[in-house]
Chain A
Amino acid sequence: MDMTERVSHNLYRSLVISMFTIFSAFWLYTYFFTKEQSDAYTLFTNTYGVFALIGGLFGIFAARKWGGFKSYLGKAILMLSFGLLFQEIGQLFYMYYIYVAHIEVPYPSLGDVGFFGSVLFYIYASFLLSKVAGADFSLKEHLSSKVEAIIIPLIILFLSYFFFLRGNTVELSQPIKTVLDFGYPLFQSVYVSIALVTYRVLRFTQGGMIRKDILLLLVALFMQYLSDFTFLYKTSRGTWVAGGINDYMYLVSYCLMTLAIMRLDGFLNKAKAGKENA
Chain B
Amino acid sequence: MLDKYTQAVLKIIKEQESLIGPLALDLAKKSENIVFSNGAQVTINGNPIIALGDLVGQYNTLFGRTSVEVSKLAIKKSGESFTQEELPEILK
A66 and B67 within 8 A (CB)? no
**Closest beta carbon of chain B to A68's beta carbon, Å:** 7
A207 and B64 within 8 A (CB)? yes
From B17, B21, B64, contact of A211 by CB (8 A): B64
A71 and B19 within 8 A (CB)? yes
B23 and A205 within 8 A (CB)? no
A132 and B66 within 8 A (CB)? yes
Is there a chain A Cβ closer than 8 Å to B80's Cβ?
no
- Residues of B close to A67: CB separation below 8 A: 17, 20-23
Is there a chain A Cβ closer than 8 Å to B63's Cβ?
yes
Q: Mark A250-273, 1 if CB is under 8 A from B, else 0.
A: 000000000000000000100110
Interface residues of B, count at CB 8 A: 19
A residues 192-216 in Cβ contact with B at 8 Å: 204-211
B65 and A204 within 8 A (CB)? yes
Is there a chain A Cβ closer than 8 Å to B61's Cβ?
yes
From A74, A137, A209, A268, contact of B66 by CB (8 A): A137
- Residues of A close to B67: CB separation below 8 A: 208
**Closest beta carbon of chain B to A61's beta carbon, Å:** 14
Q: Mark A129-166, 1 if CB is under 8 A from B, else 0.
A: 00111100100000000000000000000000000000
Q: Mark B29-47, 1 if CB is under 8 A from A, else 0.
A: 0100000000000000000
Interface residues of B (CB under 8 A from A): 17-23, 26-27, 30, 60-67, 69
Interface residues of A (CB under 8 A from B): 65-68, 70-74, 131-134, 137, 204-211, 268, 271-272, 274-275
